[in-house]
Structure 1
Amino acid sequence: MAEAGAHLTSAAARERPSIFEVLAQESLMAAVRPALRHGAKVLAESDPPRFGFLWRRFDELHLLLDLLLQHHFLSRCGASFSENFYGLKRVWGGRGLGLRGGRRWRSLLLLCLAPYLRAKLDAALARQRDEEDFSIRLEQSGGRRLYRAAAAAWPYAGAAWRAWAFCQQLLFVFGAAGTHDPLLWLARVRLARLDAQDLRDVAPRGSRPGNPAEGSLASLSASLSLGVFFLRFLEWWYSSADRDGVKSLAAPPAPPPPLHLQGGPDAPPPGECPLCGGRRSNATALSTSGFVFCYRCVFAYVKANRRCPLSGVPTEPQHLVKIYCPES
């Protein structure tokens, strides 16, 4: 009996991943999103009319790709992409690969929708801070007041969530909890290492002769693994360049002025705002393109469209620069 109990204890210890493994797989996916975002920004700055939608709709496009990727790995490997990359699987009681029914869909929604909603709420909070910094007071409707209240409460909710995650990790380290992440606890699953039987179950799926679909899926998985390493290298490269004060390779050249602004009979009079057509008030330039507008006109446009009205270059409210003219 004692020998059997010792065998079970050692088997459970071998199956349980370390805190370093679970945190490493989390950092893998956390680094992919910034790298993809940077790539979308480079494309949008190189050709705004063609690739500008990649920057404006990045969150939605990333959510769609994430849903497809995670659904594939949850269905076939019983784990997310990063968990499978580190040799982990999701279990709920029994052994073996695969998630069934509600656990799979719960895992998928928590893996993809939770980061998407968090990114949207962070962006909403940043816009709220921009409005406060730029002294913009929009009409205070009921929805606007609710929005301001949610934005004010979000930092406290984020702090509470991080405190919960930290406590969960401490309990996992000391063996008092089966999961290190509140999202895994909400999905009612835990992480375990792949064993020899799991590897035998997975191997034929990618190497079965005469099945080109299975072979292509295996090639896709290998390509994704290499792509992740490449994206992490890009993320390190650009972060190192920004930290050392080196000019980013993605910095776009100053665009030439449009033809209708270079003079001629159809050129607008000096001091006219290209958006409202009236004389500029509180002149403000965009640091991304150099064009000058009325402050309220360009702030409202950039906030809604996240690009320069004339050049189409990706732009955020923090790129607005106040111009102090002698006559103002």
Structure 2
Amino acid sequence: MAERGAHLTAASAIEDRPSIFEVVAQDSLMSAVRPALQHVAKILAESNPSCYSFLWCWFDEIYTLLDLLLQHHFLTRCSASFSENFYGLKRITLGDSRKLQQLASAGLPKKQHWKSLLLLVLVPYLKTKLEKLVSSLREEDEYSIHPSSSAWKRFYKAFLAAYPFANMAWEGWFLSQQLCYILGKAQHHSPLLGLAGVRLVRLTAEDIQALEQKLGKATSSRQPAHSIKERVSSAVKKALGGIAFSLSSSLSVGVFFLQFLDWWYSTENQENIKSLTALPTPPPPIHLEHGIRSPLLPTLKTVCPLCRKLRANDTVLSTSGFVFCYRCVYAYVKNHQKCPITGYATELQHLVKLYSPES
């Protein structure tokens, strides 16, 4: 009985501490949002390249900007990121006891607020860019036109050899932190929380009541701004707040659908989506349907549309079917990620070498 009483006392002392399942679930929520939105951007870019190709080319930057507005909104209003607030969690500074905790509606101190915002938004952005760089370097290593003895090729081969070990150390750092959190040896499950100087706790009834009151006051109070500077500042704040609120509302409504997408983009399904056989057959260009030649196409069929010279090392784009010189189309696709003629979204793995009977 004494052991049971001691266990209950210890449990009540840390009842505000979320379980490992809660913190891991809120981490996986935002990781499911990016591939879903990226898939939407790809569909729009393929359906109308002239209007929506920028969404595909600048997706990382657009997503990061929207994520910045969303996370800033929730950190200011709820002392938590979007996913943390969705699971009923909030951030408090390290070392705060239960009695000294501020309400979630009060927000984080400025130092912890900006550290949290940068780590929530900047670290995923840089990690995504690094992964894309590694992927492009691997493709360049496979399809490269650089001589094997060049200094650049030696450098990125050394980088590609070192990257798996650096990535393993990064993931191991997070795994060891989670194990320490499970065993009760750490206050936070992620090293990023430690770098921000915060930890996660559950929302209390007082927090929920204060958040509801704050939301009610924000919607009811509309004080007129007197000076032009105040009016402009108020308009900017309202616009940014409206964008963040729209994002949070749409994400909250679609969160269960995004969980389905998380399954859809896992392992086997993702490999099928990435395979060339899963790519839809694009419709023929309009100028070919009506017998009108595009000015981008040369008169002779043996001439490359890019350099306007006789093709050397014929290479076809599997996304559109047009044939180019390998050097020309390799450089173009690497820089623009689209077909030079049709504008279809294209990657380096879509280059297919053609072999003539003479070769």
TM-score range, shorter chain: 0.7 to 0.9
Alignment of 1:1-328 (within 5 A): 9-92=10-93, 93=96, 94-96=100-102, 97=104, 98-137=107-146, 149-208=158-217, 210-211=220-221, 221-234=248-261, 236=263, 242=269, 251=280, 253-256=282-285, 258=287, 267-328=298-359
Distance 2:143 2:116 in 1: 41
Query: TM-score of the superposition, structure 1-length normalised?
Result: 0.87
Structure 2 vs 1, CA of residues 198 and 8 (structure 1 numbering), >3 Å: closer, same or farther?
Answer: farther
Deviation string for 1:168-208 (max 9, x for gaps)? 11110010011111111111111110011111110112234
Query: Gapped runs of 5+ residues in structure 1?
Result: none
Q: How many equivalent residue pairs?
A: 323
Distance change >3 Å, CA 55–CA 106, structure 1 → 2:
same
Partner amino acid, structure 1, of 2:332:
Y
- 1:255–1:311 CA contact under 8 A, matched in 2: no
Per-residue displacement from partner, 1:41-68 (whole Å, max 9, x unpaired)?
0000000000000000001001101100
| TM-score normalised by length of structure 2 | 0.80
The AA in structure 1 aligned to 2:283 is A
Sort the Cα spacing of 1:104 and 1:276 in 2 relative to 1 into closer, same or farther, 3 A: same
Aligned residue for 1:154, secondary structure, equals helix
Q: CA deviation at 1:227?
A: 3.0
Partners of 1:238 and 1:21 lie apart in 2 by: 22
Partner amino acid for 2:126? L
Report the Cα offset of residue 258 of structure 1.
4.2
2:314 aligned partner, one-letter code: A
Query: Which range is displaced more, 189-198 or 217-226?
Result: 217-226
- How far has the Cα of 1:308 moved from its partner? 0.7
Q: Which runs of 5+ in 2 are unaligned?
A: 1-5, 223-237
Judged with a 3 Å threshold, the aligned counterparts in structure 2 of structure 1 residues 116 and 283 are, in CA distance, closer, same or farther, namely same
Sequence identity (%): 51
What is the Cα deviation at residue 288 of structure 1?
0.9
Give SS of 1:14's match.
Answer: coil
**Please, what is the CA RMSD of the aligned residues?**
3.4
- Counterpart-to-counterpart distance in 2, 1:226 and 1:206: 19
Q: CA deviation at 1:143?
A: 7.7
Cα contact 2:338–2:346 (8 A) shared by 1: yes
